[in-house]
């Protein structure tokens, strides 16, 4: 009876040992397993820090780029505004200087003009300053009148101020859109005939004849050849020259002597 209660069967003993081993192994395994926070939190934390570093680096460079763009934009605006301001100041000074210059010219002209409106000048002795006293004669016209007077040898008529020859260049071509002296100007001049410079046709050089406005080259050449071959006694000796018209003869006659 005692043997049946004190001794376990072989299979029971083996089963108990296996159960105990399993229990012990379970708890030992639980002890050595890594804690979930230790296994997962560290990579997650490392990944988050890396991403944060990348984000902060990108934000840093973005802020630098924005700062550079803002700097260059402001610099461009400053340069553009300063150049525009300098440009405006430059042209304002030019316009101001031009206005002052013209005001001084107008004032000078007013001071030079005589008070009397019925000014009369000797056309053969008046200089460019005096010629500009007459309303309708400016600086260029005054210079042209004096130059033409020197070519002619003096004016014999106030109507010569309207000669076509007066408004030609050195090559004999008409000056385009040239200002012509109006009839109203002619009343302000008288002619002093004592100042007329005449050409002695029997002793004239070819250059003297060519320089006269009324004698073109072929006619001057024939006049020169004529007086070399014969003594010219008067205006009638010139009528037979080829190319000599009555109009040219009437215009050149006051400037010739024999």
Residue 228 belongs to some domain of the structure: yes
Question: pLDDT for 5-26, tens place per residue?
Answer: 445 677 778 877 878 877 777 7
144 domain-assigned: yes
Q: Report the C-alpha gap between 131 and 112 in whole angstroms.
A: 11
Beta bridge partners of 250: none
- Please tell me the predicted confidence (pLDDT) of residue 146: 93
pLDDT at residue 179, rounded to an integer: 83
- The reply to whether 77 and 87 lie within a common domain is yes
| Beta-carbon contacts of residue 152 (< 8 Å; ≥ 6 apart) | 160, 212, 213, 214, 255
| Residue 236 to residue 201: CA distance in whole angstroms | 13
φ, ψ for residue 123 (rounded to 5)? -65, -25
Give, as one character, the DSSP assignment of residue 211. H
Would you call 185 helix, strand, or coil by DSSP?
helix
Rounded to 10 degrees, the C-alpha dihedral 187/189/190/193 comes to: -140
- d(Cα 125, Cα 192) in Å, to the nearest integer? 8
Q: Of 152, 175, 195, at which residue does a domain stop?
A: 195
Q: What element of type H or E holds 128? A: helix 128-131
Q: Of the segments 29-33, 76-80, 96-100, 205-209, which one has the largest average pLDDT value?
A: 205-209
Is residue 26, in this structure, part of any structural domain at all? no
- Per the model's pLDDT, the better-predicted residue between 58 and 237 turns out to be 237
C-beta atoms surrounding 215 within 10 Å: 23
Note whether residue 211 is domain-resident.
Answer: yes
The per-residue pLDDT for 5 is 46
In a domain, 130, yes or no: yes
Examine the domain organization and report whether 187 and 209 are in the same domain.
Answer: no
Question: What tens digit of pLDDT does each residue of 57-83 get?
Answer: 677 667 777 766 666 666 666 656 666
133 lies in some domain: yes
Residue 99: pLDDT band (50, 70, 90) is: confident
What integer best gives the mean pLDDT of the chain? 77
Residues 185 and 204 in one domain: no
Which are the contacts of 143, defined by CB distance < 8 A and separation ≥ 6?
A: 128
Q: How many domains would you assign to the chain? A: 3
Of the two residues 136 and 70, the one the predictor is more confident about is 136
Are both 53 and 103 inside the same structural domain? yes
For residue 130, what is the domain's CATH number? 1.10.150
Whether 50 shows a pLDDT value over 50: the answer reads yes
Closest CA to 199 of 214, 185, 209: 209
Q: Clarify whether residues 103 and 120 are in a common domain.
A: no
Q: Is residue 2 part of a domain?
A: no
* Per-residue pLDDT tens digits for 166-185: 888 766 777 777 788 888 88
User: Averaging pLDDT over each range in 3-7, 89-93, 157-161, which range is the top one?
Assistant: 157-161
Choose one of 153, 179, 195: the last residue of a domain.
Answer: 195
Q: Print the domain residue range for 77.
A: 44-112
Residue 185 covered by a domain: yes
Q: At which of 195, 216, 248 does a domain end? A: 195
* Radius of gyration, alpha carbons of the chain: 58
Question: Is residue 35 left, alpha or beta, with left meaning phi > 0 and alpha meaning psi from -120 to 50?
Answer: beta
CB neighbour class for 154 (10 Å; exposed up to 12, middle 13-18, buried from 19): buried
Q: How far apart are the first and last CA of the chain?
A: 195
């Amino acid at each position: 009876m005692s043997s049946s209660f004190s001794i376990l069967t072989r299979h029971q003993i083996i089963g108990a040992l296996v159960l105990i081993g399993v229990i012990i192994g379970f708890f030992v395994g639980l002890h050595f397993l890594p804690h979930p926070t230790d296994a997962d939190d560290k990579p997650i934390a490392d990944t988050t820090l890396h991403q944060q570093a990348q984000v902060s680096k990108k934000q840093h460079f973005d802020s630098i780029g924005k700062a550079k763009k803002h700097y260059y934009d402001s610099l461009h605006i400053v340069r553009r505004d300063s150049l525009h301001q300098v440009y405006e100041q430059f042209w304002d000074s030019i316009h101001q200087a031009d206005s002052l210059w013209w005001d001084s010219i107008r004032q000078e002209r007013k001071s030079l003009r005589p008070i009397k409106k019925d000014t009369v000048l000797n056309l053969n002795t008046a200089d460019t300053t005096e010629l500009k006293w007459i309303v309708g004669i400016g600086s260029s016209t005054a210079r042209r009148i004096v130059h033409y007077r020197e070519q002619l040898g003096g004016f014999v008529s106030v109507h010569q101020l309207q000669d076509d020859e007066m408004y030609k260049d050195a090559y004999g071509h008409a000056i385009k859109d040239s200002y012509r002296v109006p009839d109203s100007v002619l009343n302000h001049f008288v002619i002093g005939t004592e100042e007329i410079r005449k050409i002695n046709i029997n002793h004239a050089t070819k250059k003297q004849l060519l320089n006269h406005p009324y004698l073109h080259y072929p006619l001057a050449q024939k006049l020169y050849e004529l007086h070399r071959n014969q003594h010219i006694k008067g205006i009638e000796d010139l009528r037979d020259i080829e190319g000599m018209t009555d109009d040219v003869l009437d215009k050149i006659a006051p400037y010739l002597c024999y």
